[in-house]
Every structure is written in structure tokens, then in C-alpha cells.
């Protein structure tokens, strides 16, 4: 049975305060995805290529969706061995109010939306 350290934060509505590890495969997969999304390359000792560097996109005016998808696919291929068991996909949407641009990343697992990030 696979076990991983429980990764949810106390601000998460699904946070369980007395949980130390998770056995749920989707929860383990989401932990790995969060680690990739919220980490900048070079922040994890021993894994200098782990992370999406999403902060790089915060002040960009010309957004390159192809580059973001390449980064995502490379991270999933390298750090998520469960990719053979689950269909993991990232949907990118961009909105603008005329002043600011917003990028939304939606993570789908087996066709169901599980996680969203706003840049």
C-alpha cells in the first residue's frame, strides 16, 4: 500500500488536522501536483529541476501558453510516476479586464477538475 506525507494546509477547506499521511491515490497525486505548481526550480535540495516557476509569468504581458504546457508536461513526465495510471491534464485559460491579464490553470485528473491556480 502506497503512503505519502499529508500535504494539505490549514487554510484548505478539506484540511484534516490529525492526519499525518495519506493512502488515497488521488490525494497523493494532488500532493505531487501542488509541489510542482507551487515550487520554483532550485528550491528543493537534490532536485534542481523540480517546479514550474509560475512566478515568472506574473508580470509578463505576452503569455506563451506553449512554453507553459511544455514545462507542465516535462514536470509530469519526470516527477509523477502515476501518469501511467491516471489521465493528468492542464487546461489553460486567459482573461483580461483591459488593465490586467489573468491566467487560470485547471488541473484535470481522468477528465474531472481537481485543482485550479490563478496567476
Per DSSP, the residues of 23-91 read --HHHHHHHHHHHHHT--TT-STT-TT----GGGGTT-SS--HHHHHHHHHHHHHHH-GGGGTS-EEEE
pLDDT value of position 3: 62
Residues paired with residue 113 on neighbouring β-strands, in sequence order: 108
CB 7 within 8 A of CB 31: yes
pLDDT value of position 21: 73
pLDDT value of position 6: 65
Query: pTM of the predicted model, to two decimals?
Result: 0.81
pLDDT value of position 22: 74
pLDDT over 70 for what percent of the chain?
91
pLDDT, one tens digit per residue, over 18-45 is: 776 777 888 889 989 999 999 999 998 9
pLDDT value of position 23: 78
pLDDT value of position 56: 82
Spatial separation of the C-alpha atoms in residues 80 and 88, rounded to whole Å: 10
Buried b / exposed e over 68-98, threshold 16 CB at 10 Å, is beebbeebbeebbebeeeeebebeeeeeeee
Q: Kindly report the number of other CB atoms within 10 A of residue 99's CB atom.
A: 5
Q: Which ranges of the chain have pLDDT less than 70?
A: 1-7, 20
Amino acid at each position: 500500500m502506497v503512503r505519502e506525507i499529508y500535504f494539505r494546509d490549514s487554510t484548505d477547506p478539506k484540511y484534516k488536522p490529525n492526519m499525518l499521511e495519506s493512502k488515497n491515490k488521488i490525494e497523493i497525486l494532488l500532493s505531487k501536483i501542488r509541489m510542482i505548481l507551487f515550487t520554483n526550480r532550485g528550491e528543493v535540495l537534490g532536485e534542481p529541476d523540480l517546479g514550474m516557476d509560475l512566478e515568472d509569468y506574473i508580470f509578463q504581458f505576452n503569455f506563451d501558453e506553449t512554453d507553459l504546457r511544455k514545462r507542465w508536461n516535462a514536470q509530469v513526465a519526470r516527477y509523477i510516476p502515476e501518469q501511467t495510471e491516471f489521465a493528468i491534464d492542464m487546461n489553460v485559460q486567459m482573461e483580461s479586464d483591459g488593465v490586467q491579464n489573468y491566467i487560470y490553470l485547471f488541473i484535470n485528473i481522468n477528465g474531472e477538475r481537481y485543482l485550479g491556480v490563478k496567476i
